[in-house]
Chains A and B, each alone.
Chain A
Amino acid sequence: MLLRYLFILLVIIPTKAFALIEVDITRGNLNPLPVAVSPLSIDDKSKENFKKILKKEDLGSEISIVVENNLRQSGLFNPLNKDAFLQEPDVANLKPRFEDWNLIKAQALVTGKVTFVDEKLRVEFRLWDVLAGKEMMALAFTTVPSNWRRVGHIITDKVYERLTGEKGYFDTRIIYVSEEGPKTRRIKKLAIMDQDGFNNKYLTLGNELVLTPRFSPTNQMVTYLSYFRNLPRVYLLDIETGMQEVVGDFPGMTFAPRFSPDGKKIIMSFAKDGNSDIYTMDLENRIVERITNHPSIDTSPSYSPDGKRITFNSDRSGYQQIYVMDSNGKNVKRISFGNGLYGTPVWSPRGDLIAFTKLHKGKFYIGVMRTDGTGARLLTENFYQEAPSWSPNGRVLIFYRETKTNSKGEGFTAKLWSIDLTGYNEKMVETETDASDPSWSSLLGN
């Protein structure tokens, strides 16, 4: 929905690819890069106008705070305290005095300017290499003023991409299940928020149990499980219109839905007579195809990004383990062989890894392995956690964690957490209520 009226004018002023600074994201964030994010400069008239529309005292400063928080949360950057900045925002944006920024140990500098033009928000920003004394990038956007947070996210994506060489994941949203009430009678609603927790919205009222929402590749649709009329079925929800429809006409429970990478199919499990198998339904012609046919539980399917293969979990070996097969169900191969149980496999958007949940000796782990099952690494251990979802650049995983209750059965919480693929930078993602089943969108504007 935001997509439609995010009207971005990109003016790319080419600068020479000359970077001394580069952030290596393949290792842990032991030395986050010191970055100075200058408040974006803003003239008095624009300031007045934005104050009227958005109730923000200084929009230039507000946008820079969005960028700063994003960079800090990534764990790869260390945004410096603004109190130490010596140069005024407007002067810095024209030509930074690199000695001043060098003095406070900034290696990269972000500057910019915010103006109110024809009822629109115009933002230009520049990224500077302080040590080399060069401009690395300059961009300008024009959009509706209400999109100001997204502008901050897009700037972060550009900075991240320029400095790490990989796409960012900041102009994205998370869909999840909001949870309230006692553990025995949880009230669950679908909710959606920006990646940094802002602009939270509830998409259902909590009248029926809802589980496992997942975005379509274009982020306009969500597929999820609803217990509407006590019939657990896979549904589709159009986020823009709020229209909901049941997926297919199955004589029993359908669950564990995900979109195919082209967005044309839903893959899910259908349970009948004590057996769960994997099916797909084509959203255009409504043709249902059976993908697995085995008396064991086959569920949690996830496509490879090229759509040619599917990973899923099955207990056909006697215990829950992870398998990979062709998209037509042929060539089923088990890929998890470690001790314990393995579930919830999700194919990385880069195609090279599968993230999973492992249960071993009463502990739950989130881990990743190559698609042939080799190179398994466990990233985090806890009392209970599961259901990883990848950031669109395949660098970060978001999942949910539940706490152990005390001897009286009190103290239950469910929260979203994220962790870097390296196993570093594990942190809780703040939500208004308890939360579970997160699903990360793709980049919104691109």
Chain B
Amino acid sequence: MNLSKILKNAFLIILASLVLTACATKKTSTTGQMQGDTYTGTDTVKELAKGVPDRVFFATNETVLTTASRETLRKQAGWLRKNSDINVILEGHADERGTREYNLALGERRANSAKDYLMTYGISSDRISVLSYGKERPVDSGSSPLAWSKNRRSVTVKAN
């Protein structure tokens, strides 16, 4: 079928890019920092409190939370339950490989995807606001799949 063909091609492209990047930078293999094209590394991640990472990452054009993202958000929910006086802003971001206006919408959708998950763990929506930056505030200024994967993110920031 067509879909399986597309998936197969996509898989080949990903495989090819992994092989290529692996060749280009022998020391820091990106395979350890990305799963599919979702970032799994930690170098841009800060902590809201000890053991509570501040951000989750997304695949290209995706807003679905990965297993690792859900784990991070559960930790954030736990921390928010313990600190009921703290409110947060979820800042949604996209990579530079999309049109500006669509990316604003995508950032908003990503941040809301994180917000919904926090809410299912008992955090009131009153405590969470959402802000999309689209592609306007990358953390990594690179033009590589790895840089883009770090930029596709939702970051939880203390509002007060």
Residues of A within 8 A of B (CB): 182-186, 209, 211-212, 225, 230, 232, 252-253, 255-256, 269, 271, 273-276, 297, 299-300, 313, 315, 319-320, 341, 343-344, 357, 359, 362, 383-384, 386-387, 402, 404-405, 407, 409-410, 412, 436-437
**In the complex, which of the residues B102, B112, B142 contacts A407, with contact meaning CB atoms closer than 8 Å?**
B142
Residue contacts A-B, CB under 8 angstroms, 19 given = A184-B141, A211-B100, A232-B104, A232-B132, A252-B108, A252-B130, A255-B101, A274-B63, A274-B116, A275-B109, A276-B108, A300-B99, A341-B98, A344-B101, A359-B97, A359-B99, A384-B97, A386-B100, A409-B142
Contact A253 B109 (CB under 8 A): no
B113 interface residue, CB < 8 Å from A? yes
Q: How far is the CA of A395 from the CA of B106 in the complex (A)?
A: 32
Contact A253 B143 (CB under 8 A): no
Q: How far is the CA of A30 from the CA of B139 in the complex (A)?
A: 45
Contact B141 A182 (CB under 8 A): yes
CB-CB under 8 A for A297 and B100, given A232-B131, A409-B142, A409-B147: no
Task: Mark interface residues in B138-155 (1 if CB within 8 Å of A CB, else 0).
Answer: 111111100100000000
Report chain A residues within 8 Å CB of B61.
315, 319-320
CB-CB under 8 A for A256 and B104, given A211-B136, A274-B116: yes
Contact B97 A299 (CB under 8 A): no
**In the complex, which of the residues A182, A212, A273 contacts B100, with contact meaning CB atoms closer than 8 Å?**
A212
Question: Closest approach, in angstroms, between the C-beta of A412 and any C-beta of chain B?
Answer: 6
Q: How far is the CA of A95 from the CA of B137 in the complex (A)?
A: 62
Report chain B residues within 8 Å CB of A211.
100, 136
CB-CB under 8 A for A184 and B97, given A273-B112, A276-B105: no
B96 interface residue, CB < 8 Å from A? yes
Q: How far is the CA of A225 from the CA of B116 in the complex (A)?
A: 26
**In the complex, which of the residues B108, B137, B142, B147 contacts A274, with contact meaning CB atoms closer than 8 Å?**
B108
Contact A269 B96 (CB under 8 A): no
| Minimum CB distance partner of A225 in chain B | B104
**In the complex, which of the residues A182, A256, A362, A404 contacts B101, with contact meaning CB atoms closer than 8 Å?**
A256
Contact B102 A186 (CB under 8 A): no
Q: How far is the CA of A117 from the CA of B112 in the complex (A)?
A: 65
Report chain A residues within 8 Å CB of B147.
409
CB-CB under 8 A for A357 and B99, given A255-B104, A256-B104: yes
Q: How far is the CA of A412 from the CA of B111 in the complex (A)?
A: 27
Q: How far is the CA of A274 from the CA of B64 in the complex (A)?
A: 12
Contact B142 A405 (CB under 8 A): yes
